[in-house]
Chains A and B, each alone.
Chain A
């Protein structure tokens, strides 16, 4: 069965600092992996997705993530945090390309300090 674990329910960084949000997956088959962002009182928005084409995936708003099969990880990074990055971030996976049943992690709340 698939599962997704996000390490750290809260992450706080200073404006301009590196953002690193951790995600590990467990899957019996090669997964397809996603990062979604949820701003307050809004729905989820796709940041980026890994579908086996390239291990380093670039997304919107300067975010990127690297798929590491040996570590079963798909961590999200951004070189320089901006105040507008404050939000809840969810890692998700599906074992079947295009399948709509996404399995989400519990989320990481990112706070940006001025």
Chain B
């Protein structure tokens, strides 16, 4: 069975541009979460979506937004990119909104902002 898939795997943008990252959860999983992992740090929670609704949001500016589609896939959008947005963006899925704590992570989208 396919795991969590993310695209693109790598991308380079310049300051001020906008980026869209995509995530397909494991089949049957209805919840998707997004994390930002800056080099040398642990992942930081950005959003959780369940059944197409936002169920949690981390301490990120409004430049960050996300949505979940009827097929449970998700997109993360970041507007007006800053150098500090350079990071590995991880998507994780789980079967339901509340679970046993095991999140299934994709390999991430590595964003470089120049």
Contact = CB atoms under 8 A, between A and B. Distances in A.
Given A49-B100, A90-B42, A106-B42, A100 B94 contact: yes
A97 B103 CA distance: 13
A42 B44 CA distance: 17
B-side interface mostly? loop
Interface in B50-70: 55-56, 58
A100 B99 contact: yes
Interface of B: 4, 31, 33, 40-45, 48, 55-56, 58, 90, 92, 94, 97-103, 105-108
Nearest to A33: B101
9 contacts: A34-B102, A45-B105, A49-B102, A51-B100, A51-B101, A98-B100, A100-B92, A102-B101, A104-B43
Interface residues on A, range: 20 to 34
